[in-house]
Amino acid sequence: MPTIGFIGFGEAGSAIARGLIESGLGPITAYDIAYEKSGLVQSRAAELDVELLPGPAHLAATADVIFSAVVCTEALVAVRSLLPFLGPQHWLLDINSVSPGTKATAADLARERGAHYVDVAVMSNVSSDLARLPLLGAGPDADSLPGLLAGATLNYEVVSPSPGDAARIKMYRSLFVKGLEALALEAMMGSYAGGMHNRVLESLDVTFAKYSFSELVQQLIARHAVHGRRRADELEEVAQTLSEVGVDPIMAEAGFARMSWDIERGLQDRFDHSEDPDWLAVLAELESLRHRGTVDDE
């Protein structure tokens, strides 16, 4: 059974470590840059009986399979700190939420040391219930991950032999989740002062309960193609509303700009007066506008 380690032992790393330990795997070691000063890191490690190590050399010496689970701005820093100590016996499982380009760079760095690398994307809030934690994998050795963690029941799917392709899917998911978070902040900051926040959410509960999320997205894109101008203009009214109560309308203005991009390039002319266009036809037209735009701009 391969030995398992973590570089980065925050919320994500410790949750997955817990899941592995509950599946009978271990012992597990970890190195976290805050290992000396973070009481949270120390208490998580103590609770799970995970040995906290004083540096990446110690981690590479005690673990063959190393999860990288640091904050996303430190993903490459973490890999670089491990590099001198990696060899062909090592597997780097990179679960960081970073761009495909960053993952491809990390994969190249690991490969230069002869180490294996898997781009792993966590497709939900992280949890120790591994059987329910959806993971996507990408990379030439992505198929080997379940064998490395034999004993744990995983919800894991390989999407591509190219590292970065799992990250790519995760990033577009994140745009929805974190973008909605930003919309929520702006709308709730605006409505809270007037005590309207619950009325706003109740109204959305009624609408959103009618559809699955993908149905909603498909409808919004189809309606955008026909009524984009009007819908964008409404965001200008929203921006006005926010400004009136002193909230900077960052998301409202961005939404107006995002919608205006395709309206100005004629998307709506293409679908004018269509009843319920197919959303995939709209996406194909957006793709074509994008390439036309590139040529025109040159």
Considering only residues 179 to 198 of the shown chain, the ones binding a second copy according to CB under 8 A are 179-194, 196-198
Residue recorded with tokens 């700009």: 257
- Site size for a second copy, by CB under 8 A? 103
For 150, residues 6+ apart whose C-beta sits below 8 A from its C-beta are 1
Binding flags for a second copy, 8-37, as an x/- string (CB under 8 A): ---x--------------------------
Query: Rounded CA gap, 28 and 18, in Å?
Result: 10
**DSSP at 92:** E
User: Is 40 near a second copy (CB under 8 A)?
Assistant: yes
**In terms of residues, how long is the chain?**
298
User: Is 253 near a second copy (CB under 8 A)?
Assistant: yes
Minimum Å gap between C-beta 108 and a second copy is: 16
Which positions from 43 through 82 interact with a second copy, judged by CB under 8 A? 71-73
Could you tell me whether strands 116-122 and 28-31 are parallel, antiparallel, or unpaired per DSSP bridges? unpaired
76: number of CA atoms within 13 Å, CB side? 12
Helix (H, G, I), strand (E, B) or coil at 143: helix
User: Is 216 near a second copy (CB under 8 A)?
Assistant: yes
Minimum Å gap between C-beta 84 and a second copy is: 26
Minimum Å gap between C-beta 294 and a second copy is: 7
Minimum Å gap between C-beta 89 and a second copy is: 30
Nearer to a second copy, 32 or 90 (CB): 32
The dihedral region occupied by 26, where left means phi > 0, alpha psi between -120 and 50, and beta the remainder, is left
Choices 13-21, 60-68, 87-95, 280-288 (CB under 8 A): range interacting with a second copy = 280-288
In the set 57, 126, 254, 281, which binds a second copy (CB under 8 A)? Answer: 254
Query: Rounded CA gap, 88 and 94, in Å?
Result: 16
